Structure 1
Amino acid sequence: MNTIHTDVAIIGAGSAGLSAYRAAKAAGASAILIEGGAHGTTCARVGCMPSKLLIAAADAAHHAAHAAAFGVHIDGALRIDGREVMARVKRERDRFVSFVVAGVDAMPDADKLTGYARFIDDNLLQVGDDTKVQAKSIVIATGSSPVMPSMYRALGDRAIINDDVFAWDDLPKRVAVIGAGVIGLELGQALARLGVRVSLLGARGRVGPFTDPDVRAYAGRVFSEAFRFEPFAQVQAAVREGDEVRLRYVSDAGESIEETFDYVLVAAGRKPNVGGLALSNTSLALDDVGLPVYDPLTLQAGAHPVFIAGDANGVLPLLHEAADEGRAAGTNAARYPHVEAVERRAPIAIAFTDPGIAMVGSRHVDLKPESFVTGEVSFEDQGRSRVMLRNRGLMHVYVDRASRRFVGAEWIGPDAEHIAHLLAWALQMKLTVDEMLRMPFYHPVVEEGLRTALRDAVVRLG
């Protein structure tokens, strides 16, 4: 049995793990990066990048199909070649993955270890069958995996997760999407625009990440026009019949519906990948789902030299948050017992639907009702949005009554991904609504809609 001694052992070579490794090395510690699966990060392989490639193809199809409103006509049928669509998705995906793999390949061989790790005790890991790693500190950065309820597991390869979509060689004809979160909405809309018959079934009225009732209701109406959308569906049965799946569910209106699909795409949430780590062999306190109890400020598990970062801690499953947490965890692990809190950036979340979805700062549900006012704008009559025929959207901005500071926003609308960055910067700079309105706004741009919402908040503040 080979035993490796190191200052910091990092389990997982995704976005958080790679950041933790670099941070530990920058702090002067020896470090070893342990990965049991393929290198390339969730984002590059099956997340952010391939999904945006599919969405880009869907947008191209949508714009071509709706060009007549501008007086631009396509004479003849619009043809979507599913094989060509998926070939580009996989070709470009592999290119992005190659960049990450090249970075890992450039690391010293002594700093990399291939195999699945499990704890023997707080500071000792077993990797594979013939290697042990003795570490002064350990970073758990094992990421997360999609949840697959037992009802759908019984369907075999007809029940898929988002990872599987990007392995397709061609587009199917009919897909049921289970789950109305960000992944379900993004992929559901993209597939529908590419000619796939899509039924998206939620369970609890969720529409993406929205907590603002008015914005959620508006978004629900928008997506209901794009595909069959049942936010309150109750799935009663899922039966495989050859290479098809028959679903029976009760619709929002109480109607019993049966539909047949080629695949059921399950997007019903994700769970941290900690099940195979044998955490029961450690002295770490575990919560009800087996996750180490840790300090969200320092990412440290109790008083132990163990840190947990990225999707593995289940807090903010976003790439930029994972990278930030990885850096903090790697630095704290290298400098243990001297640890510092993670320097959090302004919260920002985006869904690449059309219209786009974005949330910045505090959510509507987290604000005390009497502590803030809401500024509103509809993008339906907003000038630049109407010029582009992208005039669908509703934005709510939240402003603190006492300080007049901007504290958050939820919205669906055009160019949401870009406006979200402006608002995140304003929030991080702790600007008041008055200071924001003194900033320059060009004409005609979609951002003028944001100005309208801010002005509405000022009126409500009095």
Structure 2
Amino acid sequence: MSEPGRDVDVVVVGGGAGGLTAATQAARRGASVVLVADGPLGGDCTHTGCVPSKTLLAAAATGRTFDDAMAAVHAAVERVAATEDEAALERVGVRVIRGRGEMTAPGRLRVDGAELVARHVIVATGATAALPTVPGIDAIGALTNEAVFSLDRRPDRLAVVGGGAIGCELAQAFARLGTHVTVIEAAERLIPIEDPDASAAIASALALDCVDVRVGVRLEQATADGTYRHLHLADGADIAADQVLVAAGRRPVTSGLGLERVGVEVDSAGRIVVGDTCATNIAGVWAIGDVTPFGGFTHVAGHMGFVAATNATRTNRLRPAAKVDRRVVPRVTFTDPEVASVGVTEAEAAGMGARVAEVRFAHVDRAITSARETGFVKLIAGPRPLLRSLGGDQLLGATIVGPRAGEMIGEVALAMRTKMFTGRLAQTIHAYPTWSMAIQQAATGFFFDTVGVEVRPARPDGAP
């Protein structure tokens, strides 16, 4: 496929989830592919994100010691990383070059002094943890997800700055390992991008694990003495801790890529601007994952990698380009209980003529048999174009809180992806007794009075 004067068809810059998927997909489609990486293959997800954090959560839930939990973390990372190494990529036709890639012109890259010429460049450099602009925070040795899994002893007291998904997950894990944990969140509730009912459920769960949750309060200053690190809050409180973990946002890794030289457009946050085909404003340059505004999740980075590689290697221009469907991106917070959502929340659906069908797990037989009745399924549906509500409304979103929420949300994402109306979901036979029967129960509530299911117009505050 390569042209005369071209070294390679596709160069992928970055070896995280998005970069690995893009490189593999391009190679499978017959392209010659080089992947340029200056860090460990697998990136943040494998080494400092999803894999270690979920392993730590699982170990903490089973009552393992801190040392045993960290040993399990390192073993899991090593095992997963072995499936993503250079040998694995070479087997599918991807050549790996170690180094930092810099674009010198469209289709031209410099890697540690060597030049590469390619038909297409896919930027997949991801993002890194960002420290908030708080006086003293950069001087107290605060941890981020990039360092917390390297701790060799359990902190007695841990302060977590940020009450989003990462902050809540690690707060619960460390609390279950025996650490006294305080979570500080500037917003009025935890995981503020999610349904308020879900936020309340997680606040209750963290309280049961003796986590001290401070919401609606701003961190003003950080200091340290010979014994503790201190976080000074706007309400006058002083939180003393052995370690401080910052989980309050991420910034794209774009420095040194040569974006300005090539003319690639970036937004005010420094993220590369792309459309739903993952193309930038420069022909032959694509961007995927957390380095773009579309990122934030490993599964999104992987999907974008698939889309970008498919489009970069497309030979039949009469066929439509692949696109990223942002309507159906599932989000999961892996606390206990889990929080999973897709599409719009109830508050976002208010004013759209949408209705909500909600079933609490106290009315779901599997939850009763498991003695895990805390949680709910909330389906959001609205009229379809032209057909309106004939045969049932179209699914617009869902929020699930429960032990298997992350697994259950996939069914709703598929229903939304295929534009399934609620009647089909209600008529689908679900095995009894399973957690997923709660989805069928909720969908049935759109059509009939169903025990335990409340159906109502979507409310602006989304609150119970």
**TM-score normalized by the length of structure 1:** 0.86
- Which structure features the higher share of helix residues? 1
Give the distance between the partners of 2:362 and 2:230, measured in 1 at CA.
39
Of 420, 425, 434, 1:436 maps to 425
AA partner of residue 216 (structure 2): F
Whether the 8 Å CA contact 1:86–1:170 is kept in 2: the answer is no
In structure 1, the residue matched to 2:115 is 132
AA partner of residue 356 (structure 1): E
Of 21, 24, 29, 1:22 maps to 24
Of 402, 409, 427, 2:416 maps to 427
Which has the higher mean CA deviation after the structures are superposed, 258-267 or 163-172? 163-172
AA partner of residue 314 (structure 1): P
Q: Please give the residue correspondences for 1:241-260 in structure 2 after superposition, counting only pairs within 5 Å.
A: 241-242=225-226, 244-250=228-234, 255-260=235-240
In structure 1, the residue matched to 2:103 is 119
Question: What is the Cα deviation at residue 102 of structure 1?
Answer: 5.2
In structure 1, the residue matched to 2:255 is 275
Residues 435-455 of structure 1: CA deviation (Å, up to 9, x unaligned)? 212122343333343334323
Of 305, 316, 324, 2:284 maps to 305
Aligned pair in 2 of structure 1 residues 211, 84: CA closer, same or farther (>3 Å)? closer
Whether the 8 Å CA contact 2:428–2:440 is kept in 1: the answer is no
AA partner of residue 388 (structure 1): S
Aligned pair in 2 of structure 1 residues 157, 99: CA closer, same or farther (>3 Å)? farther
Aligned pair in 2 of structure 1 residues 414, 210: CA closer, same or farther (>3 Å)? farther
Question: What is the Cα deviation at residue 381 of structure 1?
Answer: 5.1
In structure 1, the residue matched to 2:331 is 349
Residues 330-368 of structure 1: CA deviation (Å, up to 9, x unaligned)? 232234894813253832121211111000233334425
In structure 2, the residue matched to 1:54 is 56
Residues 221-252 of structure 1: CA deviation (Å, up to 9, x unaligned)? 333443111221211221111352011224xx
Whether the 8 Å CA contact 2:59–2:72 is kept in 1: the answer is no
Question: What is the Cα deviation at residue 196 of structure 1?
Answer: 0.9
In structure 1, the residue matched to 2:217 is 233
Secondary structure in structure 2 of the residue aligned to 1:331: helix
Whether the 8 Å CA contact 1:137–1:336 is kept in 2: the answer is no
Whether the 8 Å CA contact 2:11–2:121 is kept in 1: the answer is yes
Of 408, 416, 419, 2:405 maps to 416
Question: What is the Cα deviation at residue 55 of structure 1?
Answer: 0.6
Residues 165-220 of structure 1: CA deviation (Å, up to 9, x unaligned)? 21122321111111111111111111111111111111112422644334433443
In structure 2, the residue matched to 1:81 is 65
Question: What is the Cα deviation at residue 157 of structure 1?
Answer: 6.4
Aligned pair in 2 of structure 1 residues 361, 420: CA closer, same or farther (>3 Å)? same
Whether the 8 Å CA contact 1:6–1:32 is kept in 2: the answer is yes
Of 180, 188, 199, 1:205 maps to 188
Give the distance between the partners of 1:133 and 1:407, measured in 2 at CA.
45
Of 373, 385, 394, 2:367 maps to 385
Whether the 8 Å CA contact 2:13–2:122 is kept in 1: the answer is yes
Which has the higher mean CA deviation after the structures are superposed, 353-362 or 329-338? 329-338
Higher relative contact order (CA 8 A, sep 6+): 1
Q: Name the Cα RMSD after superposition.
A: 2.7
Question: What is the Cα deviation at residue 256 of structure 1?
Answer: 2.7
AA partner of residue 412 (structure 2): L
Whether the 8 Å CA contact 1:218–1:394 is kept in 2: the answer is no
> Identity over aligned residues, as a percent?
28
Give the distance between the partners of 1:174 and 1:24, measured in 2 at CA.
47
In structure 2, the residue matched to 1:264 is 244
Whether the 8 Å CA contact 2:342–2:398 is kept in 1: the answer is yes
In structure 2, the residue matched to 1:68 is none
Question: What is the Cα deviation at residue 263 of structure 1?
Answer: 1.0
Whether the 8 Å CA contact 2:252–2:270 is kept in 1: the answer is no
Give the distance between the partners of 1:389 and 1:267, measured in 2 at CA.
32
Of 155, 170, 173, 1:172 maps to 155
Give the distance between the partners of 2:140 and 2:147, measured in 1 at CA.
9
Whether the 8 Å CA contact 1:44–1:50 is kept in 2: the answer is yes
Question: What is the Cα deviation at residue 411 of structure 1?
Answer: 2.8
Give the distance between the partners of 1:215 and 1:289, measured in 2 at CA.
29
In structure 2, the residue matched to 1:41 is 43
AA partner of residue 447 (structure 1): S
Which has the higher mean CA deviation after the structures are superposed, 399-408 or 450-459? 450-459
Aligned pair in 2 of structure 1 residues 318, 192: CA closer, same or farther (>3 Å)? same
Aligned pair in 2 of structure 1 residues 15, 439: CA closer, same or farther (>3 Å)? same
Whether the 8 Å CA contact 2:195–2:399 is kept in 1: the answer is yes
Give the distance between the partners of 1:109 and 1:116, measured in 2 at CA.
21
Would you say 1:196 and 2:179 are equivalent positions?
yes
Give the distance between the partners of 1:314 and 1:446, measured in 2 at CA.
34
Aligned pair in 2 of structure 1 residues 134, 242: CA closer, same or farther (>3 Å)? farther
Aligned pair in 2 of structure 1 residues 143, 152: CA closer, same or farther (>3 Å)? farther
Aligned pair in 2 of structure 1 residues 445, 327: CA closer, same or farther (>3 Å)? closer
Aligned pair in 2 of structure 1 residues 90, 107: CA closer, same or farther (>3 Å)? same
Aligned pair in 2 of structure 1 residues 390, 156: CA closer, same or farther (>3 Å)? farther
Aligned pair in 2 of structure 1 residues 443, 266: CA closer, same or farther (>3 Å)? same
In structure 2, the residue matched to 1:399 is 381
Question: What is the Cα deviation at residue 152 of structure 1?
Answer: 7.1
5+ residue gaps in structure 2?
450-454, 458-464
5+ residue gaps in structure 1?
62-79
Aligned length: 436
